[in-house]
Structure 1
Amino acid sequence: MSSDTPTTTLTVFFGFQRVAHGSKTEVLEQLSRRDDPGPYLVFDDQTGAQLDLDMRELPPELRYPEAEPHRDDAPRGVGRPKLGVVAREVTLLPRHWDWLGRQPGGASVALRKLVEDARRVNAERDTVRAAQEAAYRFMTAIAGNLPGFEEATRALFAGEEQRFATLIDPWPADVRAHLQKLAAAGWNHR
């Protein structure tokens, strides 16, 4: 894993109330102490994506007696996992492969340099887009039936921070706060 990869944190909602937040282990521990039966909506704080959480992944001392231990039988991937290098397929035209083959260090080095250059040049735009998409994923999963949802979505993607805040103001406090947190990076770059 690269040093620029942020640690994944999760936020959990029961209805419109935030009931847990933290690393996966912390969230599992917090949920194990709750009396309500759920269902819980679990979200990745970086992407806004809804996740499934397996309560069997609790540390052994916190597991329910009937829970089975989690086993990771996934086959080892190709690449250099200890360095964070992952092999994937790339489809290019023959002229692209020819050009890459002529570059110092070969195709892999040239592709890594091109990607790093593109990341640097597009960093601000990518940050705005990622924040908008994370907020949208969360909004769609939890607030799709709330009043003003469609207009709030339009304001989010138009970069209209004040209008967005006004439209989500009547929404439940925990939903509104989490949504503002997810969208914040998108406003800071306009």
Structure 2
Amino acid sequence: MSSPVPDPTLTAFAGFERIAAGPRSEVVAQLRVRADAQPVFIFDDSTGERLDLDLRQGVPAVPESPAADEQATRGVGRPKLGVVAREVTLLPRHWDWLSRQPGGASVALRRLIDEARRVHADRDAQRASREAAYRFMSAIAGNLAGFEEAARALFAGEGTRFAELVGPWPRTCAPTCWSLAAAAWSAE
């Protein structure tokens, strides 16, 4: 069984001003009562992705679960266990090696993936953090002074330089950049 997906936390900006932050349902409620017509940019706090939400009254703040649609389309795999069959393209030598593994190809692939996730967890978290910060920076701060240098510092792992370059940016923009990039410096 799949566990319920938590309500993602979002941050909304009007220009460089942070106007709402928190769980999706709360941010949508706050944005619906705004009187001005200034464009709003909404970001997912975990990925830095810009979201396009329907803020009209009467539209649910949290979209309905697609589980019912997924159940109708599933047929291959083990749906009750959350296993969905997908396609993987490998070279013949890879298939030969997988066929010789105990438990078969699926067991071997799952084992390899789990090991790689464990071994590379820190590196993957750093990469995800840098990508999230970059997505946010590109959307909000792409035209600000020092953007290109800050992006270079971000991907080079230069946390101190990144903080110096982002520091002069608008007061609500810089802390969001730092927050999204926080895990990028964790192992350094």
Instruction: Give TM-score scaled by structure 2 length.
Output: 0.83
Shift in alpha-carbon separation, 1:58–1:93, aligned structure 2, 3 A: farther
| 1:46 to partner: Cα distance | 1.3
| 1:110 to partner: Cα distance | 1.4
Q: Within 5 Å, give how 1:106-185 maps onto structure 2.
A: 106-185=104-183
- Match for residue 29 of structure 1? 29
CA contact (8 A) 2:32 2:57 kept: no
Letter in structure 2 aligned against 1:140: S
Shift in alpha-carbon separation, 1:49–1:71, aligned structure 2, 3 A: closer
Partner of 1:13: helix, strand, or coil? strand
CA contact (8 A) 1:77 1:86 kept: no
- Pick aligned residue for 2:90 from 89, 92, 115: 92
| 1:80 to partner: Cα distance | 4.4
- Match for residue 66 of structure 1? none
CA contact (8 A) 2:7 2:24 kept: no
- Match for residue 13 of structure 1? 13
Shift in alpha-carbon separation, 1:151–1:71, aligned structure 2, 3 A: closer
RMSD: 2.8
CA contact (8 A) 2:48 2:135 kept: yes
Partner of 2:88: helix, strand, or coil? coil
Partner of 1:20: helix, strand, or coil? strand
- Match for residue 102 of structure 1? 100
Note the residue ranges of structure 2 that are not aligned, 5 or more in a row: none
| 1:7 to partner: Cα distance | 5.4
| 2:36 is the counterpart of 1:39 | no
Q: Out of 140-149 and 97-106, give the one that drifted further.
A: 97-106
Percent of aligned pairs sharing the same letter: 62
Shift in alpha-carbon separation, 1:70–1:84, aligned structure 2, 3 A: closer
| 1:85 to partner: Cα distance | 2.9
Q: How many residues align?
A: 182
**Cα distance in 1 for residues equivalent to 2:2 and 2:119:** 20
**Cα distance in 1 for residues equivalent to 2:25 and 2:155:** 33
| 1:20 to partner: Cα distance | 1.6
Note the residue ranges of structure 1 that are not aligned, 5 or more in a row: 63-68
CA contact (8 A) 2:13 2:42 kept: yes
Q: Per-residue CA shift, 1:74-118, capped at 9, x if unaligned?
A: 554434455443332211112222322332332222111111100
Instruction: Give TM-score scaled by structure 1 length.
Output: 0.82
Letter in structure 1 aligned against 2:45: D
Q: Out of 21-30 and 145-154, give the one that drifted further.
A: 21-30
**Cα distance in 2 for residues equivalent to 1:37 and 1:74:** 36
